Structure 1
Amino acid sequence: MKTTENFTDKADIYAKYRPHYPIEYINYLFSANQLKEDQLVADIGSGTGIFSRQLLERGLKVIGVEPNDDMRNLAEISLKQYSRFTSIKATAENTTLKGENVDLVTVAQAFHWFDKEAFKIECQRILKQKANVALVWNSRDLTSLIMKENAEICQKTCPNFKGFSGGMVESPEIFNNFFKNGKYEFKMYQNDLLFDYEGFLGRNLSASYAPKKNDEEYERFVFLLSELFEKHSKNGKIVLQNITRSYLGTV
């Protein structure tokens, strides 16, 4: 299966249970890039529009580039009230956007799916001179006991599990190769997530590797997650330690 199809049939659950990004990060993005209302952002791998919405709420023009039909269609419905939003069916490596026209490229929770070199060349083509690329992830804090046990469940029941965020390790080499002269600014924000049982289960089921209802391991996956929730929850709520990681620079 092509990576562009990883989230087919998961758009609804993805949109409902995936977290937003901290306001501190959005403020940083604006100040670091000197963004002003009506400037143009290309949100690549925009999915169901979670990050696009946060940019639109601050008055930016946003082009959402998303190859997956289910994800893109949901974004178009949920963001239809924003006249500044444009939706395009295209890939990160071939966005079809006009050259030297974009004030900022953003990639939220998607860079690990891209062909890094081809995407870099495409960014160089569509960005205005000296404009930046912003990569951001909401990442599980793997030092947390809950997250370690959550990963063990995924290893047991999810054949396609290679680690969270597609198994991408936070290797400096990846970012050194992507950003121009290996120079970028790294920021980190604590962004812990509070879920009830439904939210906790939904967050896990929204992952690309998670089994779907018809899959053999689905019931076992849900059962083990239920046990994990019961073990660590208090008053019907569980806290998942989450870190927002940001990489910003020119390419």
Structure 2
Amino acid sequence: MKKLFVLFQFISVVAYSQATLLEPNSISIPKVAANPTCNVAAKGKQIFNTTSNKMLYCNGNNWIDLSGLSLVLPYTATGSNANYLLSITNTGLGKALKTNGGLQFSGIGEGAGKILTSDGSGNATWQGPVAFLATYGGESNMSVGQTSETTIPFSNESYDISNSFSFSTFTAPASGIYHFDATITWSGFFQTNGYARFNLLKNDVIAYGEYQNGEPNPFSQHLSLDIKLNANDTVKLSVFQNSNFDQALTNTGAVNNNGNYMYFSGHLVARQ
């Protein structure tokens, strides 16, 4: 008789409270057409709004939508995961993410003047610019022996943003397409027979060159080209002349003023 009384008492409480019910395969949440007051006393309660067809819970101040992602702003979270803390996939034709305002990316090598760059897998990092300009390291003429391959010492740096140029050699900090410009000036061939060759060396092997017949007056040779480099490839410039005499490069020019008639510059066009 005592057991029967307890059972009747339990049924009575359930029927009276209209509270959450445990069913065999589900939980029945109270259904309302309009949200009741959400305050500290109601904190933690859950309801189903039949007007909006959304599940909500009270955080002590507001009803929070549980039917999809809903964050109280400003929102900050910290976590650790080898893959992703947040992944958004749009299986339709639209965008996976839209913002009305700026974005900030930190912790991936950020710095003033850097460019956000992606690798082949879509991983983004901040990468700094690569650019340098150097001139011949002296005002006097530079002797070039007969049939001798001679490296030009461009030792006066005007700038070297990536610290990739040293004395006469540029070392690529990253794989990509690079553009180089260079000019040398001969003081004029002693005896005008023969020719001069101006070379760009990639990893100490001549990759490109420019020929010109010797002239008695000062004359210049130029190189301007794009070249593909891998990280740590080197680029330098050299000259070769075949005229049966020693010849000279000049950094003062025809009018004998203190100009920069021999220079070497380069910059990264596109990373790969």
Please, what TM-score do these two structures have when normalized by structure 1? 0.21
* Rg larger for: 2
Structure whose residues are more often helix by fraction: 1
| Superposition TM-score, scaled by structure 2 size | 0.20
Indicate the structure whose relative CO is greater, using CA pairs within 8 Å and at least 6 residues apart: 1
Q: When you count strand as a share of all residues, which structure comes out higher?
A: 2
